[in-house]
Amino acid sequence: MRLRVLAAENKSMKKIITVIGARPQFIKAAPVSKAFLGYKDLREIIVHTGQHYDSGMSDVFFKELEIPEPMYNLEVGSASHAIQTGEIMKRLEDVLMKEKPDLLLIYGDTNSTLAGALTAAKLHVPVAHVEAGLRSFNNKMPEEINRIVADRLSSLLFAPTKTAVDNLTNEGITDGVHRTGDVMYDVALLFTPKAIEESTILDSLDVTPGEYILATIHRAENTDVITRLTNVSTALRTIAEDITVVLPIHPRTRKMVKEFQLDNRLNGVKLIDPVGFLDMVNLEHNARLIVTDSGGVQKEAYFHKVPCVTLRDETEWVETVDAGWNVLADVNRCDNIILSINDMLSQNGERKTIAEYGDGHSSTDIVLKMSKYLRAGVVTQKQFGNIL
């Protein structure tokens, strides 16, 4: 475990440990970490679990998003769900025992999210969950289990939408729930101008704005099932005969394409290595269409006003579908994927605005609510010491 040494702290400050470990969490944490700077009585300590550990999936995002360097890196690396979650808990417990935080902040639905919530709850450290209340209602998705458990263990639940609040209410969770809007919209407003100005990815790939499709595939339900990955690969190859398809290929996807011997199924698709945050924003912003199985990219597509085809059976972001910006494609049928893509390419009608994602100040609201919670004396260092 790597540790960054800091100067002696002000003992009167309230400590908030932020646990992040994957690309979507780095992105969500950026505006929240920036909002912390407005509070002299709050100190954020960032713990990177190492769930995404190479520079292409981790370091570059910290630099481009201007996130403070993590004080701790747990360096858990890749493993099965159980082993990865267990290793994070084991290493994170040592950090919490040492730092004695007043609050632990988690994001989203990864194994890092679950491990953070479980470890903190067992030490009686209050948990704040950004993106609380999202539900796909598919318990076969590991992310769904992670979300449900994290929400059950959280004292502060920052729900991005009314649908998320309703989901929590239906599960009997009402205390500590706050509808805040979506921090990802904050990110889009903060960094899109910078991405357009600084990223040279379009020139590097020799693609023209509005004349290519951006695709991302990484979910195990698609990559680890040969029929589904074959269908996706074949559909992208077919579409690439008429319009350029750019696919930044996730390490897991690359591995499974090779294992299933599907390389030829992607002939004609412009395969590239994973890209940095600013390059990804630029690719999203200028795409004619986005095809993805990512939860976050669905919303990012909307923020850039780019239509989206989601390669999943369900989505937690139902607002994007209801507003006409997003459509779900049945990955069990190659022809359905192709039809969905062609339909979205041909649609030029009016689409609805999704007002409930907020006004770009969700992060500020979240930090303000955490500050008020801690000032109310919900937990103190002395109480924490007695618990231990």
CA–chain centroid gap for 139, Å, is 19
Residue type, position 273, single letter: D
Q: Which of 218, 250, 285, 304 is catalytic?
A: 218
Q: Determine phi and psi for 127, rounding to 5 degrees.
A: -115, 135
Whether 48 sits among the annotated catalytic residues: the reply is no
The answer to whether the beta carbons of residues 69 and 33 sit under 8 Å apart is no
The answer to whether the beta carbons of residues 139 and 161 sit under 8 Å apart is no
Distance, CA of 144 to CA of 165 (rounded, Å): 16
Q: Which of 204, 211, 192, 194 has its CA nearest to residue 301?
A: 192
- Spatial CB neighbours of 143, under 8 Å, sequence gap ≥ 6: 108, 109, 110, 136, 295
In angstroms, the first-to-last Cα distance of the chain is 22
Residue type, position 130, single letter: V
- H or E element in which residue 160 lies: none
Residue with tokens 């912390």: 36
Q: Which of 230, 228, 261, 267 has its CA nearest to residue 247?
A: 267
Which burial class, exposed, middle or buried, applies to 210 when counting CB atoms under 10 A from its CB (0-12, 13-18, 19+)? exposed
Cα torsion through 189, 190, 192, 195, rounded to 10: 180
Distance, CA of 184 to CA of 228 (rounded, Å): 29
Catalytic residues: 218
